[in-house]
Amino acid sequence: MKGSAVILLGAALLSILAMPIAVTYAAPMQKVTGGGIAVKSFPPYTFTAIFGFNVIQDKTSALKGHLDFSYVNLHEGTEFTNTYDSTSVTSLSVTGNTATFTGTAKFYSNNPGVEEFNGQIFKFEVTVTDGGEPGTQDTFFAAIYLLPAEILFEQFGTTSLTGGNIQVSI
């Protein structure tokens, strides 16, 4: 009897060890936030990006956020502004101190050359780098695509901030 109890106990232990074990991995929280101004000058043109954003991906991988982005073109005293107000944020990728996020945004402009697009939804891709405090080494890049074909509509190339701060954290 004593020996059979050990065999039963051993069999039970083996059957427990043979059971599949589910391991749940909680993704780290990722967050990128910032706002500022970046200026590019190609005389007689001056291009200014004015932006603010907050994108968070929590430990359950739920993504939320917002982007406000205005692209100002000043040419010989005439200023045109293209404004993008996000309607969704669809992805966030963080590598080190650099983050890229994408989404969609509604377009508005005072430029008669593109006013036909007012109210339309565009796709955006933003890449930012947190160069440390106080933000003087931070960079901003934005590409805007016309949907549904995802044709490049405008781009503000990678530029150091003139003012503001970007923070990337995991």
pLDDT tens sequence across 35-53: 999 999 888 889 999 999 9
pTM: 0.81
pLDDT at 6 over 50: no
Per-residue DSSP letters for 39-86? EEEETTEEEEEEEEEEEEE-TT--EEEEEEEEEEEEETTEEEEEEEEE
CB neighbourhood size of 27 (10 A): 11
Domain boundaries, the chain: 27-169
Task: Give the pLDDT of residue 59.
Answer: 87
Q: What is the dihedral of CA 120, 128, 155, 38, to 10 degrees?
A: 100
Cα radius of gyration rounded to whole Å, the chain: 25
